[in-house]
Amino acid sequence: LAKTTQPISMDSYEGQEVNITCSHNNIATNDYITWYQQFPSQGPRFIIQGYKTKVTNEVASLFIPADRKSSTLSLPRVSLSDTAVYYCLVGDEGNTPLVFGKGTRLSVIA
């Protein structure tokens, strides 16, 4: 899996949009970008995956520029329940377990 770099922590007030950027300068042509969310006392859960441009689902949006060397996870109008650690992973290993980096600890404040 390609190495990723993301901020260690972020704070946000409720109702704001939060953007977490991940750098992956060595991304390979076949690699996909995947984000996981982990709430306290729970296992991580898959939230979104993309290859290029923009992907949106009911939880978040993922923006990927043309060079694919970075990506931005966007959480619209966060609430206290979005307080979690967010992990960015890059790769195309269909049968290989995920290797997690340090992630970004998001704290949402009332």
Partner 1 sequence: SAVISQKPSRDICQRGTSLTIQCQVDSQVTMMFWYRQQPGQSLTLIATANQGSEATYESGFVIDKFPISRPNLTFSTLTVSNMSPEDSSIYLCSVLLQGARLEQYFGPGTRLTVT
* Positions in the binding site for partner 1 (CB under 8 A): 32, 34, 41-46, 49, 87, 89, 91-95, 97-103
Residues with Cβ within 8 Å of 78's Cβ and at least 6 positions away in sequence, in order, are 12, 14, 15, 16, 17, 18, 106, 108
Identity of the residue, 45 or 77, whose beta carbon is nearer to partner 1 in the bound complex:
45
Identity of the residue, 14 or 93, whose beta carbon is nearer to partner 1 in the bound complex:
93
Identity of the residue, 71 or 103, whose beta carbon is nearer to partner 1 in the bound complex:
103
Locus of tokens 């009332």 = 110
Q: What is the number of alpha carbons within 13 Å of residue 69 lying toward its C-beta?
A: 3
The minimum distance between CB 25 and partner 1, in angstroms, equals 19
Q: How far is CA 70 from CA 5, 26, 88, in A?
A: 9, 10, 10
The minimum distance between CB 81 and partner 1, in angstroms, equals 17
The minimum distance between CB 10 and partner 1, in angstroms, equals 16
